Amino acid sequence: MQIVESYPVAVAMCIVTMLCWGSWANTQKLASKEWRFQLFYWDYAIGVFLLSLLLAFTLGSTGSGGRGFLADLYQADSKWLGSAFLGGVIFNLSNILLVAAIDIAGMAVAFPIGVGLALVLGVITTYVAKPEGNAPMLALGVAAVVVAVVLDALAYKKLASAGKKTPVKGIVLSVVAGVLMGFFYSFVAQTMGKIDGVTHALEASKLSPYTAIVLFSAGLLASNFIWNTIAMAKPFSGEPVTYRDYFTKGNLRLHLIGILGGMIWNTGMGFSIIASTAAGPALSYGLGQGATMVGALWGVFIWKEFKGAPQGTGKLLGFMFLFYIIGLAVLIASKL
């Protein structure tokens, strides 16, 4: 398998993660006028799984370090396979709630609140599972992100006071999604074995990053038959949708948009997990969740979700972005 040992390369991969995690939801926005989010989400889940297999049979099966994907899968302890799978199940529930929140409240609200909370909880839970990095600096970086989340909430309050619709349900969904999303990464991170710095041998019975991604993605896709089926029958807004709608109301373009969204997101997840061998899982996850800022940028400047907001809202959003940048910079420095 291919191993990342350079910290600068790991940071660069985490930045790609941030861009992917902050941008994939644009595919849902593109399809939302023609395609209910529950139907979009089936294609998204398929895209996630396909990308995991692509990584496993390319980067995960070449190179002289560790073990190839299939060999790693055969030797893995069922405990670790189950933990990575469970991480996918937990993430999928949180992500369905986040996509529903985006559908109701928009990216500029759902991302800072939902993914911001996920960053805070995720860094903490991942550090507890695998304590690597400078804890005080990690805490300082997380604190800056918390300030950014509060500023976004204040900006949204101004938007609501200007007579814009106030989808409280979207905010509640964002919060619940963020809490759940803060726990999934630790289940995946703890499954990965240590890599010997000299021989590049991988710890026995545990998983390579590539195997962990496949099991995580399998958990996501399998649990979709539970979580998304419930969301289809009992939607958060609008009328129920059926499996028949998926096959009769969609077209090739809409299906490909959903699959692309899943592949974009899992490119980010893959890079985050692979980079964690050099950067540490807490930092890798924390940097990736800078996606919050990327998603908010899309929402504010491309989708114009704060258009018509009262005076002073722009300053709050500006300070929100500033504190996110400060938080991310401190997180990067925590490993130097």
Tell me whether residue 2 is in a domain.
no
C-alpha 291/C-alpha 297 separation (Å) is: 10
C-alpha 266/C-alpha 49 separation (Å) is: 8
Tell me whether residue 127 is in a domain.
yes
Structural domain total, the chain: 1
Tell me whether residue 189 is in a domain.
yes
Per DSSP, the chain holds a count of helices (H) and strands (E) of 15, 0
C-alpha 28/C-alpha 134 separation (Å) is: 37
Tell me whether residue 1 is in a domain.
no
Dihedral (C-alpha) 113, 175, 91, 8: value to the nearest 10 degrees? 30
Tell me whether residue 54 is in a domain.
yes
Dihedral (C-alpha) 14, 17, 22, 27: value to the nearest 10 degrees? 170
Tell me whether residue 200 is in a domain.
yes
Q: Residue 258's domain spans which residues? A: 7-333
| DSSP codes joined into one string, 259-300 | HHHHHHHHHHHHHHHHHHHHH-HHHHHHHHTTHHHHHHHIII
- Tens of pLDDT along the chain (336 residues) come to 999 989 999 999 999 999 998 898 899 888 877 889 899 999 999 999 999 999 999 999 998 889 999 999 999 999 999 999 999 999 999 999 988 887 787 766 777 788 778 878 888 888 888 787 788 998 998 898 888 877 877 776 676 666 555 467 888 898 999 999 888 999 999 999 999 888 889 999 999 999 999 999 999 999 999 999 999 999 988 899 999 999 999 999 999 999 999 999 999 999 999 999 898 888 888 888 777 778 778 878 877 777 777 888 889 889 988 998 898 889 888 876
Tell me whether residue 40 is in a domain.
yes
pLDDT score for 171 = 82
C-alpha 336/C-alpha 333 separation (Å) is: 5
Q: What is the pTM assigned to this prediction? A: 0.86
Tell me whether residue 185 is in a domain.
yes
C-alpha 202/C-alpha 51 separation (Å) is: 23
pLDDT score for 167 = 65
pLDDT score for 165 = 56
